[in-house]
Structure 1
Amino acid sequence: MVWTILATVVVGIWSYALILLWQIRSAVPYLRNQPDVFLDVAESRNSSRWPRVTVVAAARNEERSIEGAVRSWFGSDYPNLNVVVVNDRSTDRTAEILADLNNHYPSLKVHHVTELPEGWLGKTHALHLGASDMKSEWLLFTDADVTFHPKAIRKAVVFLETHRLDHITCTPDSKGGTWASKGLLSIFAASLLLYFRPHKILSPESSATAGIGAFNLVKTSVYRQIGGHLEIALCTGDDLKLGKLVKLNHFRQMMLFGNGMISVPWYKNVPEAARALEKNLFTAFNYSLPTAFFASACAFIAFFAPYIGIFFASGFQEISFAAAIAAQLAIFRYMGRLTGVPMTAALSVPLNAMSIFYCVMRSIYMAKKRGGIMWRDNLYPLAELREKGKI
């Protein structure tokens, strides 16, 4: 009886996930496939036709990546572009590198933050500051290690204006990492994609929304209307929350696949990923232990029960577990292609699931041990984050 219930549950979960992924795949466009000119080609050649876009990035100890990122932004062929970088209390050579870049790109605007105001996370404060005095029509929030294809911004703006949108966000390519950390990426990316339900984001009746830190392009007037980053000042998942604020205020948004257009380095190994994701994963459960453990238990059953059941069950149950495994492999084969993860890594589902469970459990353990979330050398108490860090 137990095996029958378990088999029915897991085959239902993975069948639903496969159907959902198929809907997403059919509905979500690729940025690389979008035109980079308006229908009126003559207008496209007129630089005044293109609205001003300001790239805003927060940098904290980014000496390894900031130069390549800034050079890629200025390498854009977009005809009306500003770039603002906020150096958030860096202790490495970030400020020095930005000064050298400023000599090469005089239009680069750099802010230096030496003290963090109370009630803010370092990143949300830096992004809010960087966007505060800009007069451009569009704000493109990104991370200090993200690089763009020269046509990425142009294609995004054409898409926005053609579809009369207020906000778009794009998934990036993730470069680098070991075999194991790339396998973890396939699980992480699949979880986010199924959570976002991007094929439903445009519908005002749906609660689906998305925001990705590598590429959040939002109309400046909309950003001002929602209060900038003020309402999400203590949200560690600020990128996702920015998208949620846009949707809650009834503006139009979409998500695109940015493969080939937007790139971000992935973590070198699983321990590095666990440290980096430490601030985000417990946040997903609103810092609630019961919620975190219940969700983790359900996910554990969904991932591992098919592999256990196929050895101990028989008949219809065994067939159901095999079907669940087949659905898993189909999902992660697609995610491997989407994220650039080698198939051998993407299809090692049990190993990858163990990696993500390790990251989640570590995030919970470190938060409870410290009594808060440590980010950019500041400790934020869990009680404060629960009260002020949700929308």
Structure 2
Amino acid sequence: MNYYILITIMFAIITFINLLFLPKLSNKLSSKELVSVLIPMRNEERNVEGLIESMRKITHSPVEFIILDDGSTDRTPELLSRSTKGDSRFKIVSGKPLPKGWVGKVHACKELSLHARGTYYLFLDADVRVSPSVIEKVLFQMNHYDAGLVTGFPQFPIPTLLSKMLVPFQHFLVYFHLPIAVANHTTKKAFTAAHGAFMFFKTEAYEECGGHEAVKSSLLEDVHIARKVKEKGWKVTIVNNTNDVTCHMYDTNREVWSGFLKNIYIGLGRNPISVLLLSLFYFVFYIMPLPFFLYGFIAGEWSYCIPLVAIWVQTLMIDIASNQSRWHFLIMPIASISFIIIMWASMLRGMKNKGYAWKGRTYS
């Protein structure tokens, strides 16, 4: 038990040290170079007005906003036309039919890049809202790190039960398992993370790596294109953008389930051994501390309570860094059960070749 206690305490210490190397968006850099903000949209009527309002408040100039309607069947085109009327910075384009072998979002992003004229490309998702000064802040970090790509995991509202269990795991997995100092200061591909909702490229780096066409069939295009950037000798900088970027990823439990189902097994390299080992790891170190705590509390064996306190401290540090609910850390053991379940569900679906459904399309 002593070694078990020591390991859980070490996890908290490692996470604390790792977070020290995560730069925040704070300082600003003024620039007169054109930034192209590129946003693919497919059936996003619920996000149109909020997105456009957020874009209008951006203070960097010059800037162009290019939005691609990717075959929407709802009121997205109508709302886009109405919301952007009279503002010459906005350009609305219609997406072409999806070619064979392409993932929908990846093709839309490639199409957007063909219309862009900027020195920098900022790819955003339709459910993202940003602070007015976000571009100046990202430009500072890009210049400071001499990076070809700056990315970060936004602040995620968690309105549903399943989102509370799974969505914060995006921050947890990166801030705990990825050595951020190595990821940010080297071009080693093995140490890479990215979030497709917020990708800020130097145009030169984007074009050198082949752009989205280089990852046209990937459901995990953000990580894969970040690796392509590193292959060409550019750094990829992961920043803490949670005070400046919010991503309303999922509004329902069904959306949470579908979103994680399509990404998680692919994110593990479609490797069943990785699923097994990660399941064992989270069962031993993030689920078992709960029964140990209950036993220790009832029996008066207080040392048995330490592992749960340690993982609570670890999770709380990540929640604070990611601007998440201050009470979320308490459900970490239960959230770990959900994480294991979705990993296995994603793996089994992939092994059975049932495909992953998203935005009305099915991908293998």
TM normalised by structure 1 equals 0.83
Distance 1:358 1:254 in 2: 31
Report the CA distance between 1:332 and its aligned residue: 1.3
CA offsets 1:181-230 (integer angstroms, 9 cap, x no match): 33433333211322333232233275422211222111101111100012
1:264 maps to 247
Gaps of at least 5 residues in structure 2 are none
- Partner of residue 16 from structure 2, selected from 19, 22, 25: 22
1:54 maps to 36
Distance 2:252 2:309 in 1: 28
Distance 2:269 2:182 in 1: 24
1:358 maps to 341
2:121 maps to 139
Q: Does 1:250 align with 2:216?
A: no
- Partner of residue 196 from structure 1, selected from 164, 172, 178: 178
Matching residue's letter, 1:8: Y
Report the CA distance between 1:368 and its aligned residue: 4.2
Distance 2:235 2:353 in 1: 39
Distance 2:271 2:5 in 1: 25
The 10-residue stretch of structure 1 (282-291 or 123-132) with the greater mean CA deviation from structure 2 = 282-291
SS at match of 2:185: coil
Report the CA distance between 1:236 and its aligned residue: 1.0
1:386 maps to none
SS at match of 1:202: helix
Q: Does 1:119 align with 2:101?
A: yes
1:1-391 correspondence runs (5 A)? 8=3, 11-12=6-7, 14-31=8-25, 33-34=26-27, 36-37=28-29, 44=30, 49-178=31-160, 181-204=163-186, 206=188, 207-309=190-292, 321-369=304-352, 371-381=354-364
Matching residue's letter, 2:67: V
SS at match of 1:229: helix
> Compared with structure 1, are the counterparts of its residues 161 and 188 closer, same or farther at alpha carbon in structure 2 (3 Å cutoff)?
closer
CA offsets 1:292-315 (integer angstroms, 9 cap, x no match): 2332233222222223345679xx
Distance 1:173 1:320 in 2: 35
Report the CA distance between 1:144 and its aligned residue: 0.9
Distance 2:76 2:90 in 1: 14
Matching residue's letter, 1:199: A
Report the CA distance between 1:170 and its aligned residue: 2.3
Aligned pair count reads: 360
Gaps of at least 5 residues in structure 1 are 38-43, 382-391
> Compared with structure 1, are the counterparts of its residues 339 and 268 closer, same or farther at alpha carbon in structure 2 (3 Å cutoff)?
farther
Distance 1:150 1:205 in 2: 31
> Compared with structure 1, are the counterparts of its residues 368 and 205 closer, same or farther at alpha carbon in structure 2 (3 Å cutoff)?
closer
* 1:285–1:291 CA contact under 8 A, matched in 2: yes
Distance 1:90 1:196 in 2: 37
Distance 2:51 2:118 in 1: 21
Report the CA distance between 1:179 and its aligned residue: 5.7
SS at match of 1:172: coil
